[in-house]
Amino acid sequence: MSTLRSARLSLALFIATGTAAAVAQGPSLGQAISASDIAAWDLTVMPDGTGLPSGRGTPEQGAAVFAQKCAACHGENGKGGISSALVSDRRRTSIDGAEKTIPNFWPYATTLFDYIRRAMPWQLPRSLSDDEAYALTAFLLAQNKLIGPSEAMDAKSLPKVRMPNEGGFIDRFPELM
Amino acid sequence: MSLTSRLASGRDEPESVAGNGLIHRRAFLRGGGAVAAAFTSYGVARMATAAPLAEDPSSLVVGGTPVPYEEHSRFEARVGRALSNPKGETRNFLARTPHQSSEGTITPNGLHFIVSWGGIPDIDPDRHRLVIHGLVKQPLVFTLDALMRYPRVSRMAFLECGGNSAPLFSPQPVQAGVQAIHGLASCAEWSGVLLSTLLDEAGVDPKAKWVIAEGADAAHLSRSVPLSKALDDAMIALYQNGERLMPANGYPMRLLLPGWEGNMNVKYLRRLKLTEQPAMTYWEAKVYAPVLPDSKAYRFYFVQEVKSFITHPSPGLAMSGKGLYEISGIAYSGNGRIERVMVSADGGKSWAQAALSEPVLPKAFTRFRLPWRWDGGPAVLTSQAWDEAGHAQPTRAEFVARRGELTKSLPAAAIPSQHNNSVCSWAVNSDGEVSHVYA
């Protein structure tokens, strides 16, 4: 660990926490890796679209993928099954989190793509192509009337989708952020 | 009159410090062994005269031989976690800690609570990697062998699911025990490498404000953590109570954020990405965002706030005749040490200060105890805790006023919302049975 790097980190610590904390010195055994060699693991998609891959999908394409890979748990056209409903016009009437739906709660459309790509289908995570993940995202947004019935989703269009509940949140501990 | 005879007499004694039989927290210490000997335990009938002693058959044969890794006595076979999804159906599963059969402050590794979103991965530690990238000077990959050479720290820390105590959102007291209500909290000694050491090696870009953590499990569970927490007391935990992490607790490594929402303590940690903004992952934007009565929702509810609950007695642990008992329970706060726990036996009309078993550590379970003479009549037992940051555990009325409650009661296993730290009360009836009540 160089003295310069220590000094920089101490400064970062000071800015971040308001205190100068001591950092233990390690043996520096991390191996350098390039961004391209991290790419297969870098699943993070930000609300501004950072991290979205190339590829594209339409609601029509998504309907076919959904019927094949998702409907067994989430029901025909996402109306719900052994897993939660993904298409719903239900309003929230209480504090029960079970009433949360994509249109009445999810603040960002990018989260749909991020979650589908990293975790779905439950039994075969990471088995979807990026085109399929875009198509499923488009299908669910269209079924919930959040985009037009034929609107394609890709790295450009998805971050532009505005979700109705984007402003419905209060950061509980802003002083810790 | 000695303390022992005063207690035995059942008269109005000076050691009584609050209504319905609560006795000063230091009475046992002052009374010494005689008071301890008069102690009645839960669920065990007390006989007036002991039977004559004789050799037990188990003492007359050569005993068993040790095994490399020992399980508890076969007579303790009923002690275990309560499983929400024992067949592994396609939904998350939970395993709840049995506080009613535990003592002290350390949760044995096999009893630590679990919330799993996609099963317990079978990770070969030699193949596991941790990558740090994003807004850093040099992206780095660490093998487990490499991390094992780094300077280590050890600390006690509780972990609590944001959804612990969720039955308390129901408008009527859900009839369930301390395991079903509060079993998604546990406490262990964790050892590992401070995250600040690794971030220092990678070189933090001054623009970075968040660290996006991700696991190697099927869900690739991911949460956004403020950089200030990552540089404060965050740890890459490798050991749990002296042994390597349990598979369901993140083997071979997990993120430990002492005092913060369990879900953020990402298990099977494989990736940390430094960013300017949070990622708004499914878990932070949708799941762990409790809805408020005005239909807005809290987001980034990082801290598990001050809480306490009584474990002894509790539903399922029946009283075994009137007399002297010890009320005991657990208190903790994500804001630091527990400063004080008050206990009531009359539903909150009068209170006595409980003794805190040392050591009282920050962001860790603290065991509280208080002697109680049960007169055989109805009682309502409640505890309320304060932490060193000055926060009080809210009463039920205070909590409901701020956070609301459900319109109808749900089964004990349901998690309709998160971050309920209101007080919890147990009623004891004249038959010695214990039930959950709102007081």
Domain ranges of chain B: 129-287
Task: Say yes or no for a CB contact (<8 Å) between A21 and B231.
Answer: yes
Residues B117-132: tens digit of each pLDDT = 989 999 999 999 999 9
Residue A17 has pLDDT above 70, yes or no: no
Q: State residue A2 phi and psi, 5-degree precision.
A: -80, 155
Contacts of B402 in chain A (CB under 8 A): none
Q: What is the pLDDT of residue B30?
A: 63
Count other C-beta atoms under 10 Å from residue B15's C-beta.
18
Q: Which residue has tokens 């719900």?
A: A80
Q: What is the pLDDT of residue B1?
A: 37
What is the residue-averaged pLDDT of chain B? Answer: 93
Residue range A1-27: average pLDDT? 56
B residues 87-116 closer than 8 Å to A (CB): 89-91
What the block records as the tokens of B430 is 């004249």
Question: Is the pLDDT higher at B319 or at B27?
Answer: B319
Q: B438: pLDDT confidence band, cut at 50, 70 and 90?
A: very high
B414 residue type, one letter? A
B60 residue type, one letter? L
Q: Are A171 and A177 in contact (CB under 8 A)?
A: yes
Closest-CA residue of chain B to A45: B279
Q: What is the pLDDT of residue B89?
A: 87
Q: Are A158 and A137 in contact (CB under 8 A)?
A: yes
Q: What is the pLDDT of residue A3?
A: 46
A residues 55-84 closer than 8 Å to B (CB): 73, 82-83
Q: What is the pLDDT of residue B56?
A: 95
Q: What is the pLDDT of residue B297?
A: 98
Residue B392 has pLDDT above 90, yes or no: yes
Q: What is the pLDDT of residue B14?
A: 52
Kindly state the helix (H) or strand (E) to which residue B28 belongs, with its residue range.
Answer: helix B27-31
Number of residues in chain B: 439
Q: What is the pLDDT of residue A103?
A: 98
| Spatial distance between the Cα atoms of B148 and A3, rounded to a whole number of angstroms | 24
Contacts of B289 in chain A (CB under 8 A): 105, 169
Residues B84-112: tens digit of each pLDDT = 998 888 889 999 999 999 999 999 999 99
Q: Which residue of B131, B150, B296 is in closest CB contact with A26?
A: B150
- The verdict on A43 touching B (C-beta cutoff 8 Å) is yes
| Spatial distance between the Cα atoms of B255 and B236, rounded to a whole number of angstroms | 5
**Cis before A159? omega within 30:** no
Q: A21: pLDDT confidence band, cut at 50, 70 and 90?
A: low
Residues B3-50: tens digit of each pLDDT = 444 444 444 455 789 999 999 998 876 654 444 444 555 655 555 789
The proportion of chain B whose per-residue pLDDT surpasses 90, expressed as a percent, equals: 89
Q: Which residue of B139, B202, B414 is in closest CB contact with A38?
A: B139
Question: DSSP labels for chain A?
Answer: --HHHHHHHHHHHHHHHSS----PPP---PEE--HHHHGGG-----TT-TTPPS-EE-HHHHHHHHHHHTHHHH-GGGS-SSS--SS--PPP-SS-GGG--TTTT--BTHHHHHHHHHH-STTSTT-S-HHHHHHHHHHHHHHTTSS-TT--EETTTGGGPBPTTTT-EEES-GGG-
User: To probe the interface with A, which of B128, B148, B228 has the most A CB atoms within 10 Å?
Assistant: B228
Residue range B353-374: average pLDDT? 98
Q: Are B295 and B151 in contact (CB under 8 A)?
A: no
CB burial string B326-336: b at 16+ within 10 A, e below: bbbbbbbbbbb
Decide which of 2.30.30.100, 3.90.420.10, 3.10.28.10, 1.10.340.30 is the CATH code for B129-287.
3.90.420.10
Kindly state the helix (H) or strand (E) to which residue B96 belongs, with its residue range.
Answer: strand B93-96
Residue A2 has pLDDT above 50, yes or no: no
User: To probe the interface with B, which of A15, A19, A42, A44 has the most B CB atoms within 10 Å?
Assistant: A44
Q: What is the pLDDT of residue B397?
A: 97
Q: What is the pLDDT of residue A24?
A: 83
B424 residue type, one letter? C
- The verdict on B59 touching A (C-beta cutoff 8 Å) is no
Q: Which residue of B226, B228, B297 is in closest CB contact with A169?
A: B297
User: To probe the interface with A, which of B135, B137, B207, B231 has the most A CB atoms within 10 Å?
Assistant: B231
Q: Which residue has tokens 């929400």?
A: B84
| Spatial distance between the Cα atoms of A108 and A124, rounded to a whole number of angstroms | 24
Question: How far away is chain A from the Cα of B153, in angstroms, using its nearest Cα?
Answer: 10
Closest Cα partner for A83 from A66, A96, A95? Answer: A66
Q: Which residue has tokens 């003794």?
A: B355
Give the lowest-confidence range in B20-34, B338-352, B400-414. Answer: B20-34
| C-alpha separations of B124 from A24, B222, B225 in Å | 28, 21, 26
Residue B290 has pLDDT above 90, yes or no: yes
Q: State residue B42 phi and psi, 5-degree precision.
A: -70, 135
Q: What is the pLDDT of residue B2?
A: 42
Residue B152 has pLDDT above 80, yes or no: yes
Q: Are B66 and B73 in contact (CB under 8 A)?
A: no
Superfamily of chain region A56-160: Cytochrome c-like domain (1.10.760.10)
Residue A11 has pLDDT above 60, yes or no: no
Closest-CA residue of chain A to B212: A44
Contacts of A169 in chain B (CB under 8 A): 289, 296-299
Pairing verdict, β B269-275 and B129-134: parallel
Q: What sign results for the dihedral spanned by CA atoms A59, A64, A65, A70?
A: positive
Question: How far away is chain B from the Cα of A128, in angstroms, using its nearest Cα?
Answer: 13
Q: Could you give the ipTM of this predicted complex?
A: 0.91
Task: Say yes or no for a CB contact (<8 Å) between A16 and B220.
Answer: no
pTM to 2 decimal places:
0.92
Residues B187-244: tens digit of each pLDDT = 999 999 999 999 999 999 999 999 999 999 999 999 999 999 999 999 999 999 999 9
Task: Say yes or no for a CB contact (<8 Å) between A170 and B146.
Answer: no
Q: A94: pLDDT confidence band, cut at 50, 70 and 90?
A: very high
- B82 sits in the region (left: phi over 0; alpha: psi -120 to 50; else beta) called beta
Residue B385 has pLDDT above 70, yes or no: yes
**Cis before B14? omega within 30:** no
Task: Say yes or no for a CB contact (<8 Å) between B417 and A95.
Answer: yes
Q: Which residue of A11, A16, A31 is in closest CB contact with B140?
A: A31
Q: What is the pLDDT of residue B164?
A: 98
B residues 153-192 closer than 8 Å to A (CB): 153, 169
Residue A78 has pLDDT above 90, yes or no: yes
Contacts of B199 in chain A (CB under 8 A): 9
